[in-house]
Amino acid sequence: MILDLLFPNHCIHCNRIIDPELLICDLCLTQIHFTHYNYFESNPIKEKCSLFFPVENAYALIQFEEEGLSRQIVHELKYKSREKAGKILADWTIERLEFKDEKPDLLMSVPLHPKKLKERGYNQLHLFTETLSSFYNIPFNHQLIKRNHYSKAQALKDKQHRLESVNTFSITQPITGKHILLIDDVFTTGNTVSSVAWEILNAGNNKVSVLVMAVDI
């Protein structure tokens, strides 16, 4: 309480003082471009995924814009130690995404390499995934797949290098006959999601759907 008075939380965009649990103020929230995609119907991210692997359903929460607030939010989460932003993004997702009677069997987020995890101190997708898991009552598994190679941030790579990843991930546990919802932060080329998806599909008679925080296509 005293710390909140001495060091109040500010909106990352306009710098207004806001509740300690928030990331942006209500006014700035109106500037975020939510996708309004239908998880069960054709949409841009599902169409892009289907070019690379058999995808069941797909959803993106917000549009990723290089000069927009969405980019600022994702960068706060990934590079500025604002892990709690993951819960806020999950809460926004919960307000907009309904699985009806077709819930996936398991939530799985794209892993970091152990070296990158040590550098960052947390996986930016874990709190997001765990918040969704709790609300929808769907189990999650953070150990099902591992990243085999350490690499610099995707945001710092040029497009060609992003497309050159080979054998980036591998399955660590037997899994078959499951519908897995694969979770990532930003969908750009689809290379990362595709690499993980094929590991899941090749592991057994599994199905893959995709959920990302932001889409840039």
Domains of the chain, by residue range, sit at: 1-30, 32-215
Nearest-angstrom CA–CA distance, 198 and 190: 12
* 32: enclosing H helix or E strand: none
Contacts of 131 (CB under 8 A, 6+ apart): 86, 87, 90, 91, 94
pTM: 0.89
What pLDDT was estimated at residue 67?
A: 84
Nearest-angstrom CA–CA distance, 51 and 61: 21
Q: What is the pLDDT of residues 68-122, one digit of tens each?
A: 899 999 999 999 999 999 999 999 999 999 998 899 999 999 999 999 999 999 9
* 109: enclosing H helix or E strand: strand 106-109
**Quick check: 155 pLDDT over 70?**
no
Stronger pLDDT, 193 or 162, i.e. the higher one = 193
First to last CA, the chain: 43
Q: Is residue 180 within 8 Å of 106, Cβ to Cβ?
A: yes
Amino acid at 30: T
What percent of the chain has a predicted confidence (pLDDT) above 90? 83
At the second CATH level, the architecture of 32-215 is: 3-Layer(aba) Sandwich (3.40)
Backbone angles phi, psi at 203, to 5 degrees: -75, -20
**Quick check: 164 pLDDT over 90?**
no
